[in-house]
Structure 1
Amino acid sequence: MTFMADHRSFEDLVAEGAAVPTEGWDFSWFEGRASEARPSWGYARSAGERLARAEAALDIQTGGGEVLDFALSRAEPDRPRLIAATEGWPPNVAKATALLRPRGAVVVAAPDDAPLPFADGVFDLVLSRHPVHPHWEEIARVLRPGGTYFAQHVGPASVFELVEYFLGPQPEAVRSGRDPERERAAAQAAGLEVVDLRAERLRMEFHDIAAVVHFLRKVVWMVPGFTVEAYEPRLRALHERIEKEGPFVTHSARHLFDVRKPSH
């Protein structure tokens, strides 16, 4: 894909990035102005294959439901008899409900850090794409014996070139958070078997400052409390850098979990 530099003024680009709605996990607005390499395992496609074999499925922290909707479209006509999803942010709950209801899925409003609002052993498949924190004990509780947790997590120091541009060098404890091996140990401590765990770092590029502004508004935990006003000098300097040197390059971290609850 060829990207054309956008030479509008700093003020115009920032205003655009600040105006784009942030609900859901649809990243199509970034097309042509930011890019991210995709993990080799193709999470949404693989989730669709598993949904086609499942009887009862749960998607945790579904966002606007976009990933589950795509996965269910790949599972047709063999979608599960029971499909549920949880989401904690009210605008996303409404968006996910509208998107997933035609697929036969029920969206339940539930805080990300609360116990899952389901009985024990309901689901033979639990999915999640980029959960804030995996609550392994709850995942183990709602899975049937022999059931699977299949998820793509954000890994350590993800997009930290961008984070540290705005916040400065981060402590090692912050950089090493979301470590896949620690998560493996936590899953095993909850009585789950880790069948497969893969990790990749992937190139990301931001081609204009509007994309940076929209990304930091959308993925709010990257630079907590981000506003254009608070970071205007750094944004302006980054705009000038992109204009002079080309895209700002950073790297995302992703890992894939395939986890099983023992049958006995």
Structure 2
Amino acid sequence: MAAMTSADHPRPTHTGRPYEELVAEAVAAPTDGWDFSWFDGRATEQRPTWGYARLLGERLGRVHSALDLDTGGGEVLNLAPKLPPLMAATEGWPPNVAKATRLLGPRGVVVVASASDAPLPFADDAFDLVTARHPVKAPFPEIARVLRPGGTYFAQHVGPSSVFELVEHFVGPQPQEVRNGRDPQIERAEAEAAGLEIVDLRAERLRIEFYDIGAVVHFLRKVVWMVPGFTAEAYEPQLRALHERMEKEGPFVAHSTRHLIEARKPLT
């Protein structure tokens, strides 16, 4: 999931509009790529303090070869001022593959259609750097395989119970094992089991505010794994109840969790 509008963006103008109008507008909005500009004035999300895009750009400018996993529409990778001579990216959703190819192709990036749970379609020891921003799941054994000795995995991951205030409004309380998924310490252990050495691991909990029900609908249509099978029709009772609550009480507040992880493949 990409970040929505930063928390210091001007507050909304969409409250007070009819439920049907807000939902219809959100249902009609396109959901391809990881451009979250549709949320401007409708939702905000705090940014992690470490500034992933800036750190990513610095690292990409220092290597000869790199691979970006689950690149979405390529928007984050495209922010890098300089890309290495050999730059590849993977993406599993066809609309995003097409969008990333259009955006990144002119910069010499090879975009490969590859499901997130499939083996990486690259040779052993192929890359100096592997990166990912919010991968579906980090395939640490495959990451270790395609990294050259001394190479680095650098990523920002979604953490445990992210935006679960919203998830549980629609699907009810989740069991503890689900809430604990994506725990950074579990991912540390998985990376180490794959033979990687952890260089840095930081985690933060960040405030999200949704200002109108259209923002909620668009978010759940775009970030499809939050409420699998979500449609505005299927979840109309929950949406209407939340709309009425937001009209009376103001923004719906949730919290995302993020962690920065950097791991190195040993030289020997």
Query: Does TM-score exceed 0.5, indicating one fold?
Result: yes
Question: What's 2:12 paired with?
Answer: 3
Residue 236 of structure 1: which of 237, 240, 263 is its match?
240
Instruction: State the one-letter code of the partner of 2:158.
Output: V
2:168 matches 1:159: no
The correspondence for 1:196, drawn from 200, 211, 214, is 200
Q: How does 1:27-176 map to 2 (within 5 A)?
A: 27-71=36-80, 74-75=81-82, 79-176=83-180
The one-letter amino acid of 2:79's match is: F
Tell me, in whole angstroms, the C-alpha distance in 2 between the residues paired with 1:234 and 1:192: 44
* Equivalent residue number for residue 179 of structure 1: 183
Unaligned runs of 5+ in 1: none
* 2:67 and 2:130 in contact (8 A); partners too: yes
Instruction: Decide which of 21, 26, 29 is 1:17's aligned counterpart.
Output: 26
- Report if aligned partners of 2:162, 2:255 keep a CA contact under 8 Å in 1: yes
CA gap 1:5/1:94 in 2 versus in 1, 3 angstroms: closer
Contact 2:89 2:111 (C-alpha < 8 Å) held by counterparts: yes
Match of 2:5 in 1: none
| Alpha-carbon offset, residue 224 of structure 1 | 0.7
After superposition, give the CA deviation of every residue in 1:195-249 in whole Å (9 maximum; x if it has no partner): 0000000000000000000000000010011111111011011111111110000
- Distance between the aligned counterparts of 2:13 and 2:251, measured in 1? 11
User: What is aligned with 1:252?
Assistant: 256
2: distance between equivalents of 1:184 and 1:16? 41
Q: Contact 2:125/2:149 (CA < 8 Å) preserved in 1?
A: yes
Quote how far apart the aligned CAs of 1:5 are: 4.4
Aligned residue type for 1:202 = L
1:139-186 superposed Cα distances (whole Å, 9 cap, x missing partner): 000001000100000000000000001111100010000000000000
Task: Name the aligned partner's letter for residue 160 of structure 2.
Answer: P
For residue 66 of structure 1, give the secondary structure of its aligned residue in structure 2. Answer: coil
- Cα distance in 1 for partners of 2:16, 2:107 equals 42
1:116 is displaced (CA, Å) by 0.3
Tell me the distance in 2 between the aligned counterparts of 1:228 and 1:33: 18
State percent identity of aligned pairs. Answer: 72
TM-score (norm 2): 0.95
Following superposition, the deviation at residue 3 of structure 1 comes to 2.8
CA distance in 1, matches of 2:14, 2:253: 15
TM-aligned CA deviation for residue 7 of structure 1: 1.5
Deviation at 1:4, TM superposition (A): 3.0
Which residue identity does 1:7 align to in structure 2? G
> Where does residue 7 of structure 2 map in the other structure?
none
Structure 1 ranges of 4+ moved more than 2 A: 1-6
Say if 2:91 and 2:115, in contact at 8 Å, map to a contact too: yes
Matching residue's letter, 2:61: A
Once residues 54 and 43 of structure 1 are traced to their aligned partners in structure 2, the CA distance between those partners, rounded to angstroms, is 17
The two structures have a TM-score, normalised by structure 1, of: 0.97
